[in-house]
């Protein structure tokens, strides 16, 4: 009789945003397969488990995903409680679909434990509601990325239709995002807010307009960034929080480099879905 694989949300990074259900499961876990960004304080809860990092390098997603799927099945055949711990919520840009289908095909029991997704943690940090009476009645969580060979990603249509938009994994694509949206008719003056390291003590918030998005993204550091967009951020955008370049004084950083160069260089692999 195989064990159960639990797809567990680790939340956005702050250890105390983990759910009680997740914490209790981690205590019982025999083995934990976790993303690279899961903080040590959360892994520490899995005191008796073997912990295996399964972060993937960008560009090798499909091979890596199949490898993870197989490891989950092998683990479930040996152990009772197998935890697949993912950043944020496991059901949002977390490749849960692939893992669930594979486990089902192999007759392995699965359960999901929700986590706080980045969009919600970023909203809390901004102190701005995603919805607002008369201003925003719809919210879209989207990514501009599309897997190789997948059907085209119609994200522009979605971004134009929703009142408030949260873009995951978008900081490295900021220039293309701004160009695509303004090209499709969205006002360059649309308010935007970027939140890097939401929920963590090192959180960085930058605000401005859609036209400024590439510059703002260039000023983010190496951490995961959520891009928020819509009228609800108008007041925040008016305050134009444009933080200084990160690590400005460290030897490895050139403060004069262009935002685009920085955005490319700034380890966007960390922002990849896992």
Site string for ligand SAH, 132-151 (x = CB under 6 A): --------------------
Backbone angles phi, psi at 102, to 5 degrees: -65, -45
Q: How far apart are CA 76 and CA 84, in angstroms?
A: 11
Among 117, 144, 164, 207, binds ligand SAH (CB under 6 A): 117
Q: How far apart are CA 211 and CA 226, in angstroms?
A: 17
| Catalytic hit among 30, 48, 50, 56 | 56
Backbone angles phi, psi at 214, to 5 degrees: -60, -40
The question of whether 16 is a catalytic residue gets the answer no
Instruction: Tell me if 168 contacts ligand SAH by CB under 6 A.
Output: yes
Complex with ligand SAH: residue 49 or 198, whichever CB lies closer? 198
Complex with ligand SAH: residue 79 or 198, whichever CB lies closer? 198
Site string for ligand SAH, 16-55 (x = CB under 6 A): ----------------------------------------
- What are the structure tokens assigned to 186, written together? 């969205």
Q: Which residue is nearest to ligand SAH (CB)?
A: 88
The question of whether 48 is a catalytic residue gets the answer no
- What are the structure tokens assigned to 119, written together? 């969009």
Site string for ligand SAH, 56-85 (x = CB under 6 A): ------------------------------
Instruction: Tell me if 221 contacts ligand SAH by CB under 6 A.
Output: no
- What are the structure tokens assigned to 54, written together? 């399964």
- What are the structure tokens assigned to 99, written together? 């893992």
What's the CA angle centered on 229, arms 226 and 232, to 5 degrees?
120
Q: How far apart are CA 154 and CA 270, in angstroms?
A: 24
Complex with ligand SAH: residue 202 or 244, whichever CB lies closer? 202
Residue bearing tokens 């939401």: 198
Instruction: Tell me if 94 contacts ligand SAH by CB under 6 A.
Output: yes
- 195 — alpha (psi -120 to 50), left (phi > 0) or beta? beta
Residue bearing tokens 């989950």: 72
Instruction: Tell me if 165 contacts ligand SAH by CB under 6 A.
Output: no
- The binding site for ligand SAH (CB under 6 A) comprises 12-13, 86-89, 92-94, 117-118, 121-122, 168-169, 195-199, 224-226, 271, 273
């Amino acid at each position: 009789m195989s064990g159960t694989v639990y797809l567990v949300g680790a939340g956005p990074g702050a250890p105390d945003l983990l759910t009680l259900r997740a914490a209790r499961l981690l205590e019982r876990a025999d083995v934990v397969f976790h993303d690279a960004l899961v903080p040590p304080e959360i892994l520490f809860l899995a005191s008796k488990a073997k912990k295996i990092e399964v972060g993937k390098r960008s560009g090798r997603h499909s091979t890596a995903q199949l490898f993870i799927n197989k490891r989950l099945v092998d683990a479930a055949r040996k152990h009772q409680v197998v935890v697949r711990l993912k950043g944020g919520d496991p059901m949002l840009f977390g490749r849960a679909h692939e893992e669930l289908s594979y486990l089902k095909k192999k007759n392995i029991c699965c359960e999901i434990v929700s986590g706080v997704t980045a969009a919600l943690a970023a909203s809390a940090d901004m102190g701005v509601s995603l919805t607002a009476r008369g201003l925003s009645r719809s919210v879209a969580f989207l990514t501009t990325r599309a897997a190789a060979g997948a059907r085209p990603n119609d994200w522009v249509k979605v971004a134009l239709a929703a009142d408030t938009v949260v873009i995951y994994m978008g900081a490295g694509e900021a220039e293309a995002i701004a160009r695509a949206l303004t090209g499709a008719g969205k006002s360059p003056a649309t308010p935007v807010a970027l939140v890097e390291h939401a929920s963590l003590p090192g959180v960085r918030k930058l605000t401005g307009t859609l036209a400024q998005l590439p510059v703002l993204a260039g000023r983010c550091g190496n951490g995961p960034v959520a891009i928020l967009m819509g009228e609800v951020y108008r007041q925040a955008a008016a305050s134009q929080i444009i933080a200084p370049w990160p690590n400005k004084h460290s030897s490895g950083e050139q403060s004069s480099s262009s935002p685009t160069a920085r955005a490319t260089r700034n380890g966007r692999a960390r922002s990849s879905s896992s």
